[in-house]
Amino acid sequence: MRMLSSIRTIAAWEMKRSMTTVGRHVLPLAAGLLLLLILATALAAQGGIHMQDGMYCIGIDDPDVARIVAPDSRFIVTVADGPALLEDRDRYDIVILQKEISVSDTERGQAALKAFERVYGAYVSRVAAEEPDLFAAYPLWVDLQYVKSEIDFVVAGSGQQVDVPSDPVDRTSLLPPPTMPILEGDLRQHLVEIGSDHPLSRYTGILSGEQVTDQFKTPSHLSPPLPFDSIVLVFVFIFPLYFASQFFMMSVMNERVGRAGEPLLSAPVRPSAIVIGKALPYLGIMLLVAAAITFLIGAPVGILIPLIPVIFFFLAGALIIGMAARSFKELSFVSIFFSTLVTAYLFFPTVFANTHVVSIISPLTLVVLELQGDGFTTAEYLYSTALFFATSAILFYVGIMNYREERLFSAKPLTSRLVDFLSGGIIRNRPRLSLFFLAVLSIPFVFMAQMMVLVLFFNVPMPLSLILLIVSAAFIEESAKSIGIYAIMRERPRFLTPKNLVVVASVIGIGFLAGEKVFLLATLAQISESIFGSALFLSLGVLWMPLLLHITGVLITGGFLLLGGRRAYGPGLVTASVVHSLYNLHFLLGGLL
């Protein structure tokens, strides 16, 4: 009860202080920026976006052709005779003489040609829509009915054969009726709309939902079912949530500036009560913001469930960054770097929400599926959110363990402070047991970093993408396994002896393998079955071989530290990563050949 009372008191104090100190300086600025954003949006909606006006110059000798291009503000249209246009040819990106197109051999010229093709395509759509017999101009209409792919991207082992899954459903069906359930006038309007090239045309119907005519398209207008509309809506959620977490980050930083938080640290309150109490108001604000946006756009309430681990992760990251940065300037750089990585991890997979199992690594994919009406299962929720829940819990634990005077008010560089945070979790009398649990607790961060690398290399051509993935995954694992030894060596240089190195390497290898197996089998089984997942986790099939690999990697890095000191950590890490990469590459080639 005393713990809960302390948390409630600190939360109330934090809320009051934020509304007075932060509110007096930041809230008026935030309100002003919000007002400017609303005004800019209204002006853009009324007058349009003119960033592309006058980008391309086009010379035409036919006034009829010029009238097709003139309405597009991207083109500066010049009508002149042939000799005049040829005399000043370098001025134009495109020249049309006697209905023949000449394009300048530059990237700008090629971009102008693509823009002209879209303009001409829109013109053809408008002309066809005005034809008396619409179905003579467009005799074929495709009724789009998307279904889930039966390809599961599972990699077959050596000597195995992948069969196409049998379909027990009889696909014999009657021919569709010769008439369409849509009026011809609606189809004409639909042709004009999909032929337009307005910058905001894709997003005009986000909140209104799909129309019946959207499922009928001509072959030339078919496109992959990429959920761009839903991704835009997801961004509407994530931006204010991350923005709210910045207030928590600044609150932690304000406690350290001028040792302002020293009275709170000297109070008879546990660090856990301080951290939880300070974070609770911002957690409540973020949940209220997400709920308000959900209500305003009429989205299903189920989209809040995948957002909860993202909110926890934002708060946990804000806590660590606020504790590690030495100044507000460094805080800005680190927070921008953090937001860039997290945004890439969250948003890139959602583009493939309808096409590939890899997209499930992002909780925002579940939000996209919920917005599309597809929903998600409990297993999919576990796959997407387990890493965020685990890393958030560990980051909060690290922050609570280091929320004391000697850590908060230290002026060490950022990397040294992060290493100190790790060493704070190592019990001096039981370093081997501490390194074992440190290896186990590093697994969620290793998997999250590897998933982020997977997202970055997903669109790279296959041979190169797998090699880059193998090397990056090996480097991440070796860094996680060796950072504990490096942290101990900074504080206790005499601890690292040949005997202790062998014992510690074995302990770290066992802990890393145990955490790797348990976490992988519990959460990432679906991802590990894909070809990209096999490149990351292929060595887990036989226990003794990855165990030997983990121990060897730690021995290599620790050996460099033992012989060359802390300066040899980098070369040792690279050497261990090379050995690890060769091991994985050997198994990957053996599994695919």
Lowest-confidence region among 92-101, 137-146, 480-489, 492-501: 137-146
Instruction: Kindly state the average pLDDT of the residues 178-185.
Output: 60
Please tell me which residue, 536 or 83, carries the higher pLDDT value.
83
Residue 588 confidence class, pLDDT cut points 50, 70, 90: confident
Residue 49 confidence class, pLDDT cut points 50, 70, 90: low
Lowest-confidence region among 36-40, 238-242, 337-341: 36-40
Q: What is the pLDDT of residue 205?
A: 40
Please tell me which residue, 433 or 463, carries the higher pLDDT value.
433
Q: Per DSSP, what are the bridge partners of residue 78?
A: 59
The CB-based long-range contact list for 356-359 (8 Å cut-off, 24+ gap) reads 356/153, 356/530, 357/152, 357/153, 357/526, 357/527, 357/530, 358/454, 358/455, 358/458, 358/527, 358/530, 358/532, 358/533
| DSSP calls for 63-130 | HHHHHHHTT-TTEEEEE--HHHHHHTGGG-SEEEETTEEEE-SSHHHHHHHHHHHHHHHHHHHHHHHT
Residue 547: partners with Cβ closer than 8 Å, 6 or more residues away:
509, 510, 513
Q: For 455-484, how does the pLDDT look when each residue is reduced to its tens digit (9 = 90+)?
A: 777 777 777 888 888 899 899 999 999 888
Q: What is the pLDDT of residue 24?
A: 58
Instruction: Kindly state the average pLDDT of the residues 511-518.
Output: 81
Residue 171 has pLDDT above 60, yes or no: no
Residue 425 has pLDDT above 50, yes or no: yes
* d(C-alpha 547, C-alpha 552), whole Å: 9
Q: For 317-365, how does the pLDDT look when each residue is reduced to its tens digit (9 = 90+)?
A: 999 998 888 888 888 888 888 888 888 778 777 766 655 566 777 888 8
Kindly list the structural domains of the chain, giving each domain's residue range(s) and its CATH number in brackets, ordered by start. Answer: 56-144+183-221 (3.40.190), 224-425 (no CATH), 432-593 (no CATH)
Lowest-confidence region among 130-144, 187-201, 374-388: 187-201
Q: What is the pLDDT of residue 506?
A: 92
Q: For 110-155, how does the pLDDT look when each residue is reduced to its tens digit (9 = 90+)?
A: 888 888 888 888 787 777 777 776 666 667 767 766 665 554 444 4
Please tell me which residue, 571 or 157, carries the higher pLDDT value.
571
Q: For 256-292, how does the pLDDT look when each residue is reduced to its tens digit (9 = 90+)?
A: 877 777 787 788 888 888 899 999 999 999 999 888 8
Please tell me which residue, 237 or 471, carries the higher pLDDT value.
471
Residue 51 has pLDDT above 70, yes or no: no
Q: What is the pLDDT of residue 87?
A: 82
Residue 20 has pLDDT above 60, yes or no: yes
Instruction: Kindly state the average pLDDT of the residues 239-244.
Output: 83
Residue 200 confidence class, pLDDT cut points 50, 70, 90: very low
Instruction: Kindly state the average pLDDT of the residues 156-169.
Output: 48
CB 437 within 8 A of CB 511: yes
Residue 9 has pLDDT above 70, yes or no: yes
Residue 526: partners with Cβ closer than 8 Å, 6 or more residues away:
357, 360, 379, 383
Q: What is the mean pLDDT of the chain?
A: 76
Please tell me which residue, 577 or 166, carries the higher pLDDT value.
577
Q: What is the pLDDT of residue 575?
A: 94
Residue 457 to residues 358, 366, 475, 527, Cα–Cα distance (Å): 12, 22, 15, 15
Q: What is the pLDDT of residue 202?
A: 38
Residue 209 confidence class, pLDDT cut points 50, 70, 90: very low
Instruction: Kindly state the average pLDDT of the residues 159-172.
Output: 50
Q: What is the pLDDT of residue 25?
A: 59
